[in-house]
Amino acid sequence: MTRDTSWRRLARNPMAMGGVVVLTLIVLLALFGSGLSVHAIDDVFWDRISAPPDVEAGFYFGTDANGRDLFVRTVLGARVSLLVGLAASLISLVIGVAYGAVAGFWGGHVDSVMMRIVDILYSLPFVFFVILLTVYVGRSLSTIFITIGAVIWLDMARIVRGQTLALKQREFVEAARAFGATNRRILVSHIIPNLLGPVIISMLLVIPDAILTESFLSFLGLGVQEPNTSWGVLIGEGAQSMTEAPWMLLFPGAFLAVTLLAFNFFGDGLRDALDPKE
């Protein structure tokens, strides 16, 4: 019943639906977009180093400093970036919400211990952490997921814990208790639904964070290895030749910006649709 009306509300929100359409297009492009290009990701054209876009020759976005087609690289780079963003928001959703809600709800010593663990993870130098992981896990794409996953949920846990602390003082939680609700029931039926607003917002904030962290890790040589690429890597390269070859920054940057915007429109719509007061 409730769920139906929420979906209907979401479907009636043009901004949210626009976001969904754009995201779908980008995902489709990431999956099948390489077929639109006549070039492969590692084809090197010695005569076209840092060349501007040339639609007739099939270089829709121009080429990079190594003479490779930027279109196919942007499209394939989307795979890694979208995956990283999605994984990061899922990890912060699942681990962050559960961790923060438990800490905030139980409070007392449980809360103290759990939040000190978060503090410790926060204060670990990130690069040191990365190096440790690389030693033990080795260099691969999964290292990226583990590294980002290990730290990305910390913010969410803190936000959720704070919200839960405030929520559990509310009278309806007391009322539920007075009607015989168990702790688990209160957490699932009363606390978590009321967390949706801030949770969705922080889930979305995590995506650009993760995508940029991935590019940093790739820059360190830990993430994506050449000739594979990601938006973060492309943006990093583009930023170095911003003045002489602006398209190298412009195209991957625009893709990232549009994706983030679409995620935000969708997230706002989702939050409104789930909030009965809207």
Partner 1 sequence: MAHSDGIGTRRDNSLGGAGLRAGVAGNAGRDASVPEGATGRQLLDVSNLSTRFQTPHGVVTAVDGVSFSLAAGGSLGIVGESGSGKSQTLFSIMGLLPFNAEIQGSVRFEGRELIDLAPVALNKLRGERLAMVFQDPMTALNPYLTVERQLSEVLQYHRGLSRRQARAEALLALQRVHMPESARQLDRYPHQLSGGMRQRVVIAMAMIGSPALLLADEPTTALDVTIQADILDLLAEQREAGTAIVLVTHDLGVVARLCDRVMVMYAGRVVEEGWTREVFSHPRDPYTVGLLAAIPRLDDDLCNPRKPIDGQPPDLLALPEGCAFAPRCFCVREICRRKSPKLLEHDRDGAVACYRENPEALPS
Q: What does the binding site for partner 1 look like in residue numbers (CB under 8 A)?
A: 1-2, 107-108, 170-172, 174-182, 185, 189-190, 193-194, 196, 275-277
Q: How far is the CB of 244 from partner 1 (least distance, A)?
A: 54
Q: How far is the CB of 162 from partner 1 (least distance, A)?
A: 18
What is the rounded CA–CA span in Å between residue 210 and residue 85? 6
56/171 with CB nearer partner 1: 171
Do the beta carbons of residue 235 and residue 249 sit within 8 Å? yes
Q: Of the candidates 173, 271, 179, 233, which has an alpha carbon nearest to the alpha carbon of residue 41?
A: 233
135/178 with CB nearer partner 1: 178
Do the beta carbons of residue 87 and residue 144 sit within 8 Å? no
What is the rounded CA–CA span in Å between residue 118 and residue 153? 9
40/188 with CB nearer partner 1: 188
182/225 with CB nearer partner 1: 182
DSSP 3-state assignment of 63?
Answer: strand
55/184 with CB nearer partner 1: 184
For the stretch 158-161, contacts whose Cβ atoms lie closer than 8 Å and that sit 24 or more positions apart, written own/partner, are 158/100, 158/115, 158/118, 159/96, 159/100, 159/198, 159/199, 159/202, 160/96, 160/97, 160/99, 160/100, 160/101, 160/104, 160/195, 160/198, 160/199, 161/99, 161/100, 161/101, 161/103, 161/104, 161/111, 161/115
Q: How far is the CB of 251 from partner 1 (least distance, A)?
A: 42
CA 168 to each of CA 54, 118, 185, 252: distance values in angstroms, whole numbers, following the listed order? 60, 21, 13, 44
Q: Which residue has the tokens 């412009």?
A: 250
Give Rg (Cα) of the chain.
22
Q: How far is the CB of 170 from partner 1 (least distance, A)?
A: 6
On the question of a cis peptide bond just before residue 227, with omega within 30 degrees of 0, the verdict is yes
Q: How far is the CB of 91 from partner 1 (least distance, A)?
A: 25
Q: How far is the CB of 270 from partner 1 (least distance, A)?
A: 14
54/174 with CB nearer partner 1: 174
3/128 with CB nearer partner 1: 3
Q: How far is the CB of 276 from partner 1 (least distance, A)?
A: 4
Do the beta carbons of residue 233 and residue 219 sit within 8 Å? yes
Q: How far is the CB of 179 from partner 1 (least distance, A)?
A: 4
For residue 113, how many C-alpha atoms fall within 13 Å in the half-sphere facing its CB?
5
